[in-house]
Structure 1
């Protein structure tokens, strides 16, 4: 899995560099120093009994793995207990160019299974990249973006999980400044458990949506889709049932004049199959901002 992730990372960086080289001939010179920031994300999630808190993006994936680790020893006869989770993601992000970003960091969480909140612990690490494989630039073909993230739980012990999350998104801008447009995409998550008796099946989301950015640089983005999860088992017992259910995500972001995110809040409702609610605050801490 790590070899595949690194191979895909190198391939995508090469492709992004090639596209950037083509675009440099027609655009002004970019700043020599890339954006460097800690993309701090704080997530509160409610997870119903017998389910994993899956959803959009790596934040949802981290929260699901953190909650699974906390609930591993507290299974009910019919699966996992209900839980509330607070997760903090700390990926150090470098915007190599306008089309390629690299990131890596750790995640920590605290979980309440009904008897009070657990101690806050570092529960996983991740590395990943986001790259525009093609940019619309006023044409008729939408921008195509690939995001890939490798996440592994800690500590390294029997039952640890390793997940590979891929998002392929199509962004069709309706104006030259790309302040409004339509979105469509696919997210696919594959998870391995270091155990011969446990397994988690893949999770897939198909979605469509759109966005609008006001002259004040507030940006609203909505995504509505269908999430299909294959279920999870341990020793022949069901941890989480399979399902195919709707999912909704809304993002409100404050951008600067160069489209750098200054603040963001995300609200998500995922039926898994009962409703799971999640709110995420994004407060990037910039070391360098162009």
Structure 2
């Protein structure tokens, strides 16, 4: 076998470094537990599957008002990291819930979703922060009197305080627009504005905190009592284990959203990589 000369070896290494990486594919598995007080819908920093399952359950057993509830949701989005800046995803959510004195519902697929996340600007050591836009379209299943279609948009600015981008500041805005199939029902927009920060240790454990204000426009759901509008605090903390290429290996998220009574959500992320860079 003909050995490469030193110059040829260096050129081969450079070609390997500049060659685009193939797309990374994985199931971004998420398991969530949530508790929601009576008379409220919990939206928060995302459109949780438990909210859609709760509306579906009301079509079977309508009551004068929304009872307190708890639920478990499994989100299964197939995610493709096209490159370091763009990710595409789509999948389904399965849930089980318990409202008031009722028994837990059977586990069922309650929604599907598609979305994209893209870094529209990278800081790269400059004075302007990295800007990331995430858009998710979610449709409730099965179709019924309270079936919904939700569009969730998040624009976040991330300003790194060091060259390794292991610590920094965050600021963002989220909007959730929900259309409901029923003529005499309406869910008005939900907005979240927040600030926060992140820190990543040398062992690749990363903590992120966000504190903000959620403003919900209220809702009217068929014969249920109207849900009042509110503007209240919201808090979210993330603990993630990353690898050397900044891929998430494990994640734990805790969220408290005042609606105006506190609603809680705990989410465990366990990605299953099909291909990995």
Structure 1 residue 69, shift from structure 2 partner: 1.5
2:28: which partner in 1?
A: 39
Structure 1 residue 109, shift from structure 2 partner: 0.3
Q: Does 1:282 align with 2:269?
A: yes
1:232-287, CA deviations, whole angstroms, 9 ceiling, x for partnerless residues? 10347534221100000000000000000000000000000101111000000000
1:129: which partner in 2?
A: 116
Give the Cα–Cα distance (whole angstroms) in 2 for the partners of residues 235 and 116 of structure 1.
Answer: 23
1:4: which partner in 2?
A: none
Structure 1 residue 67, shift from structure 2 partner: 1.8
| Secondary structure of 1:201's aligned partner | strand
Higher helix share: 1
Q: 1:83 pairs with 69, 83, 90, which one? A: 69
Give the Cα–Cα distance (whole angstroms) in 2 for the partners of residues 178 and 28 of structure 1.
Answer: 21
Q: Does 1:104 align with 2:90?
A: yes
Give the Cα–Cα distance (whole angstroms) in 2 for the partners of residues 157 and 148 of structure 1.
Answer: 25
Q: How many residues align?
A: 261
Q: How does 1:58-73 map to 2 (within 5 A)?
A: 58=47, 60=48, 62-73=49-60
Change (3 A) 1:241 1:105: same
Structure 1 residue 153, shift from structure 2 partner: 0.4
Give the Cα–Cα distance (whole angstroms) in 2 for the partners of residues 207 and 86 of structure 1.
Answer: 26
Kept after mapping to 1: 8 A contact 2:63/2:224: no
Give the Cα–Cα distance (whole angstroms) in 1 for the partners of residues 195 and 206 of structure 2.
Answer: 17
* CA RMSD in angstroms, aligned pairs only: 1.5
Give the Cα–Cα distance (whole angstroms) in 2 for the partners of residues 236 and 140 of structure 1.
Answer: 53
Q: 1:144 pairs with 120, 131, 138, which one? A: 131
Q: 1:200 pairs with 187, 190, 212, which one? A: 187
1:56: which partner in 2?
A: 45
Kept after mapping to 2: 8 A contact 1:51/1:239: no
TM-score, length-scaled by structure 1: 0.87
- Whichever of the two has the greater Rg, that structure is 2
2:165: which partner in 1?
A: 178
Kept after mapping to 2: 8 A contact 1:232/1:238: no
1:153-196, CA deviations, whole angstroms, 9 ceiling, x for partnerless residues? 01123321000000000000001111000000000000000111
Give the Cα–Cα distance (whole angstroms) in 1 for the partners of residues 238 and 260 of structure 2.
Answer: 23
2:8: which partner in 1?
A: none
**Structure 2 stretches of 5 or more lacking a match?**
1-15
Runs of 4+ in structure 1 over 4 Å off? none
Give the Cα–Cα distance (whole angstroms) in 2 for the partners of residues 244 and 74 of structure 1.
Answer: 29
Structure 1 residue 68, shift from structure 2 partner: 1.9
Give the Cα–Cα distance (whole angstroms) in 2 for the partners of residues 67 and 125 of structure 1.
Answer: 15
Structure 1 residue 64, shift from structure 2 partner: 1.4
Kept after mapping to 2: 8 A contact 1:179/1:212: yes
